[in-house]
Amino acid sequence: MTVTDTGAAGAPVLTPAGLRQYREDGFTVVRGLFGNDEVDKLCAEFARLHAAGTVPGHFEPRPGSADPLHAYPRVMHPHEISPLARQVLLDARLRAVLEDLLGEEVLAAQSMFYFKPPGARGQALHQDNFYLRVEPGTCVAAWLACDVIDRDNGGLEVVPGTHRMDLFCPEEADAQVSFAREYVPPPPGLAAAPVDMTPGDVLFFNGSLVHGSGPNRSGDRFRRSFIGHYTGQSALRIGRYYRTLAMNGERVPLAVSEGAGPCGTEFAPQGPH
């Protein structure tokens, strides 16, 4: 379930259909916003970072663990340790779409990179603004696919329409299939729908939209993705974990909101260490 928008000649335009779906369903996809060469370069950068080992506070693998996510943990705030990640987070193409979606200038709040190797658990259905606590309003995610992404290798699923709802109080997730503790069941009458993607596609979605992913059951395929979280410049507060930047790279501090935390509270390690 997606709407296809395509950036042209370096000047992406969100189609009326794409904007309408974002408003009605809480998400939209811009196909091919980044080129294959750009995605390859980004993946090579994170392969280099992985080979270099631990970067405290950003990337902390646990060698010897039976859990694939400990060998390939997500990278938190990579834009603070990689000029290329910073460049992608602040990319003018993302900015153009985000300003159409938000109707105002945007601030970048966070970046992440997921390797999601074969056998890795997913992240149970959740809402991003449960963690960021942007006030007033909400955040918007820009989720860049770096591989062919489908249900087999743990692609994202979204619950259309939940962006109109308040933040839910999560239940505890199943630790066998989710690395994160929080789980938001689809509200009555609504269901999760898969969003298949190819490298260079970007999924934009509202911070209240319920979304998540299952385990990577492919056996031999990674499901790499680069994610940025953003908010409008009218936001006044955000969780202390998030360090907001204008899209020109200048630091724009916001007041601290309560109840925030890193995106996804992780379960205790699984398997032998």
| C-alpha distances in Å from residue 175, one per residue of 67, 101, 156, 263, 266 | 12, 34, 18, 16, 9
User: How much is the pTM?
Assistant: 0.92
What confidence category does residue 63 fall into, taking pLDDT thresholds of 50, 70 and 90?
confident
Q: Where are the domains of the chain?
A: 4-253
Q: Which CATH number fits domain 4-253: 3.40.470.10, 1.20.120.1200, 3.30.565.10, 2.60.120.620?
A: 2.60.120.620
Name the nearest CA neighbour of 221 among 75, 113, 120, 70. 120
- Segment 94-124, tens digit of pLDDT: 999 999 999 999 999 999 999 999 999 999 9
